[in-house]
Structure 1
């Protein structure tokens, strides 16, 4: 029987929404699903993880060194805790992409990246070529499967669980060559880009950082998160943590509004799992209209104020 260990990503005492989606993927493998929480004080996060349906146990490792998510510190502990498990899953977030390869290396196995479909316990599908093709990957049956789970491809596991919480200890040597220095993050009252149900993104067509204010105003009207294309980021309109696409964030909101975005394949990769895509662009031949459910051709500086007024 499979035993899957899901690594709980968290920040400031809050469980990342991608963990519930990773649990859904773990349940699809079959067998027992446990969640591992590493923190200085894991109690609060563990209580949140215990409420996810499908979770059998929540294991906690309390250590002052785990106060911050440093991959080189967490990975040795996870590798030790993974003894007896057939699978170790983590969300394919920025943190997960940093952490899980280190876990795989310590366990001496190859990693399955961006897992989007479970065929059986050792056969999976993942996207390649910017999402233009899907490859089937089969892992050796005698090896632990370490994988990052493409959160945009999975629904969140339901709440209502009541898993037992169990503290464990591991004998892992933590490195001294890597240490936490500081964490800088943008302050925003808007929903987090990767978990928002509605997202409004701006592209090169917005024209400047100052003009991005029209994107923010529409997003605030909709209660949406704000994203951007790589072109907008490279032009300096917005910071890089707002980038959506192959080299940015892969998201799956219920509503995605693309404003002044032409629709390069790298950007479309990041939104292919969105529910409804609305495109606003003055170029009627822009590639974004080929994937959009609703398209508006016109000047965004005319259309967006009209939309705001209607909302």
Structure 2
């Protein structure tokens, strides 16, 4: 049996999480197919065909699929599901929106946030905010799972030569309607794909201080900006910068935590980072327990000094 990866894309390009999901699919065994459901998404389908390890790309093109409405995408997946042993979604907002609907329509259990494929029917996933890892076995004929991108290396975006097959698109379910969207403009790398992240916590004190202190450091390093939930709740940073269990799960090459105490929900979102640097004047801050390098200092003095030294 083959494994189907549901691609995340914007009709023009693939999102990085798709590449991590392909790696998980390859570990499940069998041929890997990628579904690109959208409108005028030929470029995204062509990009999917170039991914190393992909055997076939299924391209469903319809106005009903243009904006990734969960009801329509779920119906498209269910229509072709009988031909697959696994249906894998990136564990992103989009994937988490569609996957439960697919699992319910197929009457199977969903495996959420898998971080390792032990065997085709056995997987690992974090529980208790990442403090424990559960090994889960599924006996369902079709396994529906969301894949945590930080648990798998990204597949090579080039080197493949899969065939692109046109697929009959399902009819609009009529259950939801796209009215519009407001997309945040950001010149920095996307948080979940960034190689370097500079994050601030409640200790920043204000949005003005947050920007004044952290932006120069992020600019020097070419980094994305992140924030703890406390900083977001206090209005120091926008919601889409939140790192943590209820925010975004990241695993950059370098994570610099400034004035972040290290609550469990934040650690769950960044502790897989390759190198963690913590700057905090509280020597007892939990963030130091996961940090590779810790600096016990006033961030308002230490960060500007670091910027000058770079």
Output the TM-score relative to the length of structure 1: 0.97
* 1:19 counterpart = 2:18: yes
Please state whether the residue corresponding to 1:189 is helix, strand or coil.
Answer: coil
Which residue of the partner structure matches residue 174 of structure 1?
A: 172
Please state whether the residue corresponding to 1:298 is helix, strand or coil.
Answer: coil
Please state whether the residue corresponding to 2:78 is helix, strand or coil.
Answer: helix
Asked if the contact 2:197–2:223 (Cα under 8 Å) also holds between the matched residues in 1, the reply is yes
Select which of 172, 191, 194 maps to 1:193.
191
For residues 162 and 272 of structure 1, the distance between their equivalents in structure 2, rounded to whole angstroms, comes to 36
Which residue of the partner structure matches residue 225 of structure 1?
A: 224
Which range moves more in the overlay, 181-190 or 258-267?
181-190
Instruction: Assess, with a 3 A threshold, how the Cα gap between structure 1 residues 276 and 24 changes in structure 2: closer, same or farther.
Output: same
For residues 10 and 294 of structure 2, the distance between their equivalents in structure 1, rounded to whole angstroms, comes to 37
For residues 301 and 13 of structure 2, the distance between their equivalents in structure 1, rounded to whole angstroms, comes to 40
Q: Higher helix proportion, which one? A: 2
Instruction: Assess, with a 3 A threshold, how the Cα gap between structure 1 residues 187 and 12 changes in structure 2: closer, same or farther.
Output: farther
For residues 274 and 162 of structure 1, the distance between their equivalents in structure 2, rounded to whole angstroms, comes to 32
Q: How does 1:157-168 map to 2 (within 5 A)?
A: 157-158=155-156, 159-168=158-167
Unaligned runs of 5+ in 1: none
Asked if the contact 1:76–1:174 (Cα under 8 Å) also holds between the matched residues in 2, the reply is no
For residues 150 and 214 of structure 2, the distance between their equivalents in structure 1, rounded to whole angstroms, comes to 23
Output the TM-score relative to the length of structure 2: 0.97
Asked if the contact 1:116–1:150 (Cα under 8 Å) also holds between the matched residues in 2, the reply is yes
Please give the root-mean-square deviation of Cα atoms over the aligned residues, in Å. Answer: 1.1
Aligned length: 308
Q: How does 1:35-54 map to 2 (within 5 A)?
A: 35-54=34-53
Which residue of the partner structure matches residue 210 of structure 1?
A: 208
Following superposition, the deviation at residue 173 of structure 1 comes to: 4.4
Which residue of the partner structure matches residue 123 of structure 1?
A: 122
* 1:10 counterpart = 2:19: no
Unaligned runs of 5+ in 2: none
Residues 93-132 of structure 1, C-alpha deviations (whole Å, 9 max, x = no match): 1111111111111111111000111111111110000001
Asked if the contact 2:86–2:142 (Cα under 8 Å) also holds between the matched residues in 1, the reply is yes
Following superposition, the deviation at residue 152 of structure 1 comes to: 0.7
Following superposition, the deviation at residue 143 of structure 1 comes to: 1.8
* 1:72 counterpart = 2:88: no
Please state whether the residue corresponding to 1:137 is helix, strand or coil.
Answer: strand
Which residue of the partner structure matches residue 262 of structure 1?
A: 261
For residues 166 and 73 of structure 1, the distance between their equivalents in structure 2, rounded to whole angstroms, comes to 19
Asked if the contact 1:91–1:149 (Cα under 8 Å) also holds between the matched residues in 2, the reply is yes
Asked if the contact 1:204–1:261 (Cα under 8 Å) also holds between the matched residues in 2, the reply is yes
